[in-house]
Amino acid sequence: MNENARIVIVGAGHAGGTAAALLRQHGHTGPIELIGEEPWVPYQRPPLSKAYLKDQADAEALKLRPDAFYAEQDITLRLGTRAQSIDRDGRRVALQGGGEARYDVLILATGSSNRKLDLPGAKPGDVLELRSLADAERLKRALGPGRTLAIIGGGYIGLEAAASARALGAEATVIELAPRVLARVACPELSAFFEAYHRGRGVEILTGSEVREVGYAKDRLSAVRLGDGRWVECDAVLAGVGAAACAKLARDCALDCDVGVVVDAVGRTSDPAIWAIGDVTFRPMAHYGHRRHRLESVPAAVEQARQTTAAILGLPAPAHEVPWFWSDQYDLKLQIAGIPFEADQRVVRGDIGAAKFAIFHLNAGRIVSVEAVNCPPEFMAGRQLIGQARAVDAAKLADPKVSMRDVAL
Ligand code: FAD
């Protein structure tokens, strides 16, 4: 690629911010423009449900890089600016409120957006959500001693918010439609463990329950009504019911899309001038026969930013990483590596009762995923074994006395 090529990145989040920095780090000298709808420089979202919500980190600590970095690196920031549409023939991005950004290379890094719940009775803005700093600020104001938070959705964000609410002295009720929390993302043993752990810390967990309506007393939100007619009292409601790729820009200009923007292993879309990275993509998973998947995780966003910037600049491709994810709740560190595609065996290592264990998912004798609670060595070794696709001895794997070094066949 021409070293003076004009690179435009839409989405100033984790993936977009990382890509802009890497392009300069790898020596790109042409113009780089980073367009973001939010008013802030790229920041980390994971603390929004954890340290930031608990007031243990401020907004400054969340920034990926200090404000001055972008001017120093000659990266043009257009914040508070939404990209409206893409003219692929003219290689132009139209911006909300007028104006445009011309590109030779366009990187889409628009992330995902929360699924909305349209609850009867709810006044606009009264059902809180959590994706941005502004959302976290609003939620933080609703928490504190004596307050009660009803959380719709027992996924990671819902459970992390419940743990943070408890740390701030608030009461929390998690209302989950599925028969167990984390139903879409974790195995039944892990769901049962997290339910028990939360209940042990005063969180009410209602599974198989649906919120049907929001109720008010004296004009203040005061309760939610469940499918069985029961009212659950609360001062605030948080919806954490999943997210979808922000792929509208891509769909509107007829790029190939599925549940996200379809990309190849290095982020190329169906238009050679347009690349996509992060939550918005539907990408091939190198360690799983290149089967496509959509990941919502920081490590995936960073890995794709590395892969894509190297490919754009014609540099050697970095090795593909085994996907991983983490969640912090109370004193628990959950680390997950891999994806349990077609797992046919589960092996538990360690002591679930002591909150120190790892659950391995195997397919034909090989580890395809590991869910580790307060067990970093098992997580690290598991991740490595997934990457190596080596068969393991399940009996040895189940025995914590056998070192993880000795479980491979
Ligand atoms: P984002 O960081 O979401 O950035 C996308 C940006 O694009 C946004 O700023 C958005 O406003 C902007 N945008 C969208 N459309 C437009 C447009 N048309 N024009 C201009 N700008 C646009 N991951 C983990 O690995 N571990 C965790 O513990 C974890 N915790 C999380 C907790 C919370 C509360 C949330 C919300 C997410 C968490 N995640 C976690 C997920 C992680 O934050 C995301 O996977 C990661 O931010 C993805 O990066 P991204 O750049 O693809 O998207």
Average pLDDT value for residue range 382-396 = 95
Counting from 1 in the atom list of ligand 1, the atom nearest the Cα of 298 is 25
- pLDDT for 371 beyond 80: yes
pLDDT value, residue 161:
98
pLDDT value, residue 338:
97
8-24 pLDDT, tens digit each: 999 999 999 999 999 99
**Full DSSP string of 59-107:** HHHHBSS-THHHHHTTEEEETT--EEEEETTTTEEEETTS-EEE-SEEE
Distances (CA, A) of 59 to 40, 130, 142, 248: 10, 15, 18, 29
139-191 pLDDT, tens digit each: 999 999 999 999 999 999 999 999 999 999 999 999 999 999 999 999 999 99
**Full DSSP string of 186-203:** S-HHHHHHHHHHHHHTT-
- pLDDT for 2 beyond 90: no
pLDDT value, residue 103:
98
DSSP-derived pairing of the beta strands 332-338 and 324-329: antiparallel
Whether 225 lines ligand 1, by a CB cut-off of 6 Å, is: no
Average pLDDT value for residue range 262-291 = 96
- pLDDT for 71 beyond 90: yes
pLDDT band at 1 (very low <50, low <70, confident <90, very high): confident
pLDDT band at 7 (very low <50, low <70, confident <90, very high): very high
Taking the C-alpha atoms of residue 162 and residue 130, their distance in angstroms, rounded to an integer, is: 12
Using an 8 Å Cβ cutoff, are 385 and 367 in contact? yes
Average pLDDT value for residue range 232-243 = 96
Taking the C-alpha atoms of residue 386 and residue 405, their distance in angstroms, rounded to an integer, is: 13
Furthest-apart CA atoms within the chain: distance in Å = 67
CA atoms within a 13 Å half-sphere pointing along the CA-CB vector of 151: 32
Whether 42 lines ligand 1, by a CB cut-off of 6 Å, is: no
CA nearest 24: which of 56, 77, 72?
A: 72
Amino acid at 86: I
Residue nearest to atom 12 of ligand 1 (CA): 11
pLDDT band at 80 (very low <50, low <70, confident <90, very high): very high
CA nearest 77: which of 58, 64, 62, 59?
A: 64
Tell me the best of 18, 64, 114, 297 to mutate to test the pocket of ligand 1, counting ligand atoms within 8 Å of each CB and taking the most.
Answer: 297
pLDDT value, residue 3:
82
Other beta carbons within 10 Å of 192: 15
325-366 pLDDT, tens digit each: 999 999 999 999 999 998 999 999 999 999 999 999 999 999
